[in-house]
Amino acid sequence: MSNYYNPNRQRNLYDPKAKEPFRLSRSRIDLFLNCPRCFYFDRRLGTDRPPGFPFSLNSAVDKLLKKEFDIHRAKGTAHPLMKRYKIDAVPLADKRMDEWRDALRRGITHLHKDTNLLITGGVDDVWADKNGQLMIVDYKATSKDEEVSLDADWQIGYKRQMEIYQWLFRKNGFKVSKTGYFVYCNGNSDKQAFDAKLEFDIKVIPYQGDDSWVEQTIIDAHKCLNGNKIPEAGADCDYCKYVQAINSKK
C-alpha cells in the first residue's frame, strides 16, 4: 500500500475561492465527525491518514452478495433472506444501480447549494416495497464467536453511513423508508475442518435511521474547510494521539 500513499497530495484539495462544486464523500463526512483536524489535513492540505490494508475477504463477500441479489433484481423476485425476515420488498430494478454503487467515480450525489459541496455516496443495495418506497441496504462481513449486532460504540459509523445514504436518496426525490437493513455475514470458525471453504451465518438487521444531523454537519464541515486555522483534534483520534506522542519525544 505504501507505493500508492502520497502524504503531499496536490489533487482533490478544497479551495475556498473555487467556483466549481467540491466533491465530498460520505466517508469524508464521517472523517470530519471523528476528527476535524484529520479532515482538514486531508481535504484542505492534502495529507490523508496513512491507509490500512484492504479487507479482500470482505470485498469478496460484498461482490458475491451483489451478484446474488442481482439475480432476483432481474427476475423481480424477493431474495430468500427477505422472505425469511418477512420483508415485503424486492431488490430495486433501476438502470442506475451500477452508478449508485460506484463510490469512487460516481455514486448517488446531491449538490448542497448553500455550501457548493457535492455530497456523494456509494450504496450496496436498494430494496423497494410494492408502493415504491425504498429501503437502503448495506452489506457487512466479519468473523466472531458472538452473534452480530449494531450495539458496539464504534458501529456509530455504520449507522451514520446508512443515514447519509437515506438523506441522499431523499434529496434525489425518492420516497425512502426510515427502516434500512444491514445484511451482516459472520464467518463460522467452529467447523470440524476448513475443507477449502468458509461458511457464513447471515443475519438481516433492521435499523431506524435519522438523517436530521446531516444538513448541519455539511454546514459545519464547510466552515471547517474555509477556516485558515488547523482545528482541534477529535477526542478519540488515535492518529493525532500518535503524532502528539512522537512530537513529545523530540
Inside any domain, residue 85: yes
Inside any domain, residue 49: yes
Band of residue 1 on the pLDDT scale cut at 50, 70, 90: very low
The model's pTM? 0.90
End-to-end, the C-alpha distance of the chain in Å comes to 28
Number of domains in the chain: 1
Inside any domain, residue 250: no
C-alpha to C-alpha distance for 234 and 228, rounded to whole angstroms? 18
Supply the pLDDT for residue 149: 79
Inside any domain, residue 33: yes
pLDDT mean across residues, the chain: 90
Inside any domain, residue 233: no
Per-residue model confidence as pLDDT tens digits over 158-216: 999 999 999 999 999 999 999 999 998 887 766 666 666 667 788 999 999 999 999 99
Inside any domain, residue 159: yes
Helix (H, G, I), strand (E, B) or coil at 73: helix
C-alpha cell, 242:
500518535
Question: Cβ distance 15 to 117 under 8 Å?
Answer: no
Supply the pLDDT for residue 13: 95
DSSP H or E segment with residue 108: strand 108-112
Q: What is the mean pLDDT of residues 128-146?
A: 90
Q: What is the mean pLDDT of residues 221-247?
A: 94
Supply the pLDDT for residue 142: 83
Per-residue model confidence as pLDDT tens digits over 48-57: 998 877 666 7
> pLDDT > 70: what percent of the chain?
93
C-alpha to C-alpha distance for 238 and 40, rounded to whole angstroms? 16
CA distances from 162 to 119, 121, 139, 204 (A): 14, 10, 11, 14
Higher pLDDT, 66 or 8: 66
H runs (alpha helix) in the chain: 26-34, 36-43, 56-75, 80-84, 97-101, 156-171, 214-226, 238-248
Q: Which domain holds residue 29?
A: 19-228
Going by the DSSP 8-state scheme, the letter that residue 232 receives in this structure is P
Task: Calculate the dihedral angle through the C-alpha atoms of 169, 170, 173, 178, rounding to the nearest 10 degrees.
Answer: 100
Helix (H, G, I), strand (E, B) or coil at 245: helix
CATH code at position 74:
3.90.320
Inside any domain, residue 209: yes
Q: Are strands 117-121 and 125-128 parallel, antiparallel or unpaired?
A: unpaired
Per-residue model confidence as pLDDT tens digits over 82-133: 999 999 999 999 999 999 999 888 999 999 999 999 999 999 999 999 999 9
Inside any domain, residue 95: yes
